[in-house]
Amino acid sequence: LCGADELAVVSLPSYACQRHTPLLHHNTVLIDALSILAENAELSENEGRGVAFRRAGALLKSLPQEIRRVEQLRGQPCLGDHSLRVIKEVLEDGVCCEVETTKESRQFKAMKALTGIFGVGAKTADRWFREGIHTPSDLQRSGHNLNRAQRAGVQYYDDLNQPVRKAEADAIGLIVEKAVSEVLPGAKITLIGGFRRGKETGHDVDFLITHPEEGREEGLMAKVVSWLEAQGFLLYHKTTRNSYLESKDGPARPPSNMDRFERCFSIFRLTREESSMLSQCSGSRSWMAVRVDMVVSPYSQFAFALLGWTGSKLFERELRRWAVHERAMTLSSHTLYDSTKRQYLRANSEEEIFALLGLEYIPPCGRNA
Ligand code: DCP
Ligand code: MG
């Protein structure tokens, strides 16, 4: 009783960084279902559960064909009982009860709406939800004191919840490039994040800035921000010195050079002239607000910064997990530390980092885990 499609799928390696995960895949309905449960777990601050659903979804994204029967997945890694139950139900009934209930739940809807405000995380959103605040309008009526980021988040809520498109990302790229070349000739900018992985849209635009002469990048962010502000491009900005705060379960703190890594969270004002594609501007408005993240890295760390900021978030997590568990190494956006040799390993390209980790090189378009 072996259906034609039964044996067709070879078992994939279990770390996402050992596989190609393309942007377009064959199991969208299943992945969407698992993503809802992942999102709900993340909003409930159940990180472990969220990661389990994300890993299961990423495995499905790597499969070369559409799954029609759950038996086809036998022998595949990353699929826990819960994920398999969801997959089976969607394949058999078209929908999964738990997913539908989650999507319709007041809490999930409210948490999504509230964390959709720039500057609002799951903890804050949960506290507000318990006070009966379910929407940004409820929040405005409540008279809560909001911090500067959250005020900007409420003010530009609609724009910031529209996906940013590649054309807009490119338009902003030209502006940032101009800013960078005005304040430090020779500095270079690279589009990172989802757009580097080939995505057509994103929730923000991410840039990495560096200068080929080590040390020249110091103080660069402040100058770039001043230039952008003077030109009227910034609706909001906040620069943080220690950009790469490792989570508790992540690698040990990188060496002291991490405090030279600067990051600026900003909201750009993109006008119609800059982006001829602003059809999503509502009504007669001639500009839109767009979230932009800029990171500055010293040249010697550029390859690590590039790898660390290209994502996806799950791919990054998997790289670090691979490094620790399979190679006794600690990977960050700054460096790679070999615990056995007790030394930092240098690299000038992403290809070199993959090689040091004993991994086949996966190009950005294959990192959409
Ligand atoms: N990143 C990370 N850990 C963080 C923050 C960022 O690993 N705490 C990395 C991975 C991300 C990249 O930086 O891919 C950019 O972060 P975004 O949140 O902008 O993620 P994406 O660009 O991948 O997604 P989107 O298209 O929604 O912007
Ligand atoms: Mg992004």
Q: Tens digits of per-residue pLDDT, 335-368?
A: 999 999 999 999 999 999 999 999 999 999 999 9
The rounded mean pLDDT for the chain is 92
Q: Which of 211, 244, 227, 223 is nearest to 333 (CA)?
A: 244
One domain, residues 179 and 85? no
One domain, residues 132 and 210? no
Look at 167-176, 219-228, 282-291 and tell me which has the smallest mean pLDDT.
Answer: 282-291
Q: Please report which confidence band the pLDDT of residue 257 belongs to, taking 50, 70 and 90 as the band edges.
A: very low
What is the mean pLDDT of the segment spanning 243-253? 43
Q: Please report which confidence band the pLDDT of residue 260 belongs to, taking 50, 70 and 90 as the band edges.
A: low
| Distance from residue 321's CA to the centre of ligand 2 (Å) | 22
Complex ipTM: 0.96
One domain, residues 124 and 199? no
Q: Please report which confidence band the pLDDT of residue 276 belongs to, taking 50, 70 and 90 as the band edges.
A: confident
Q: Is the pLDDT of residue 255 over 50?
A: no
CATH code (residue 318): 3.30.460.10
What count of Cα atoms within 13 Å lies in the side-chain half-sphere of residue 272? 8
The pLDDT, as a whole number, for residue 284 is 72
Look at 106-120, 197-211, 223-237, 249-263 and tell me which has the smallest mean pLDDT.
Answer: 249-263
The pLDDT, as a whole number, for residue 258 is 41
More reliable by pLDDT, 262 or 138: 138
The pLDDT, as a whole number, for residue 256 is 41
The pLDDT, as a whole number, for residue 34 is 98
How many helical (H) and strand (E) elements, i.e. helices and strands, does the chain have? 15, 10
DSSP string, 129-193: HHTT--SHHHHHHHT----HHHHHHHHTHHHHTSPEEHHHHHHHHHHHHHHHHHHSTT-EEEEEH
The pLDDT, as a whole number, for residue 242 is 54
CATH code (residue 25): 1.10.150.110
Output the residue whose Cα is nearest ligand 1's atom 23: 194
Angstrom CA distances, 112 to 51, 80, 197, stand at: 18, 26, 25
Residue tagged 């699929």 (tokens): 79
- Binding site membership of 318 for ligand 1 (Cβ less than 6 Å): no
Span 24-37, pLDDT tens digits: 999 999 999 999 99
Output the residue whose Cα is nearest ligand 1's atom 2: 313
Judge whether 32 counts as a catalytic residue: no
One domain, residues 48 and 129? no
The pLDDT, as a whole number, for residue 8 is 59
One domain, residues 73 and 149? no
Q: Please report which confidence band the pLDDT of residue 285 belongs to, taking 50, 70 and 90 as the band edges.
A: confident
Span 5-28, pLDDT tens digits: 555 578 999 999 999 999 999 999
- Binding site membership of 206 for ligand 1 (Cβ less than 6 Å): yes
Q: Which of 300, 243, 290 is nearest to 268 (CA)?
A: 290
User: How far is 317 from 271, CA to CA, in rounded Å?
Assistant: 36
What is the mean pLDDT of the segment spanning 33-62? 98
Q: Residue 104 corresponds to which tokens in the numbers above?
A: 């319709």
Q: Please report which confidence band the pLDDT of residue 262 belongs to, taking 50, 70 and 90 as the band edges.
A: confident
What is the mean pLDDT of the segment spanning 192-201? 98
More reliable by pLDDT, 299 or 284: 299
- Binding site membership of 57 for ligand 1 (Cβ less than 6 Å): no
Burial 332-351 (b: 16+ CB within 10 A, else e): bbbbbbeeeeeeebebeebe
The pLDDT, as a whole number, for residue 241 is 76
Q: How many independent structural domains does the chain possess?
A: 3
What is the model's pTM?
Answer: 0.93
Pairing, β 205-210 against β 287-296:
parallel
**DSSP annotation of 71:** G
One domain, residues 237 and 135? no
For residues 289 and 326, is the Cβ–Cβ distance under 8 A? Answer: no
Residue 287 has φ and ψ, to the nearest 5°, of -145, 165
Residue 85 belongs to domain spanning: 4-102
Ligand whose nearest atom lies closest to the CA of 311: 1
Residue 319 has φ and ψ, to the nearest 5°, of -60, -45
- Among the listed residues 126, 138, 293, 338, the single catalytic one is 293
Q: Please report which confidence band the pLDDT of residue 189 belongs to, taking 50, 70 and 90 as the band edges.
A: very high
User: How far is 313 from 51, CA to CA, in rounded Å?
Assistant: 10
Helical H runs in the chain?
A: 28-43, 47-62, 81-93, 97-104, 106-115, 122-130, 136-142, 148-155, 157-160, 166-183, 193-196, 220-230, 302-310, 313-327, 350-356
One domain, residues 148 and 52? no
Judge whether 158 counts as a catalytic residue: no
Give the whole-number percent of the chain exceeding pLDDT 90.
Answer: 87
User: How far is 346 from 272, CA to CA, in rounded Å?
Assistant: 43
Ligand whose nearest atom lies closest to the CA of 203: 1
One domain, residues 141 and 126? yes
The pLDDT, as a whole number, for residue 214 is 95
One domain, residues 183 and 117? no
Ligand whose nearest atom lies closest to the CA of 333: 1
- Binding site membership of 364 for ligand 1 (Cβ less than 6 Å): no
One domain, residues 247 and 327? yes
One domain, residues 117 and 168? no
Q: Please report which confidence band the pLDDT of residue 272 belongs to, taking 50, 70 and 90 as the band edges.
A: confident
What is the mean pLDDT of the segment spanning 113-132? 98
- Among the listed residues 206, 249, 259, 338, the single catalytic one is 206
Q: Is the pLDDT of residue 283 over 70?
A: no
| Distance from residue 292's CA to the centre of ligand 2 (Å) | 8
More reliable by pLDDT, 279 or 159: 159
One domain, residues 187 and 85? no
**DSSP annotation of 367:** B
CATH code (residue 114): 1.10.150.20
| Distance from residue 205's CA to the centre of ligand 2 (Å) | 5
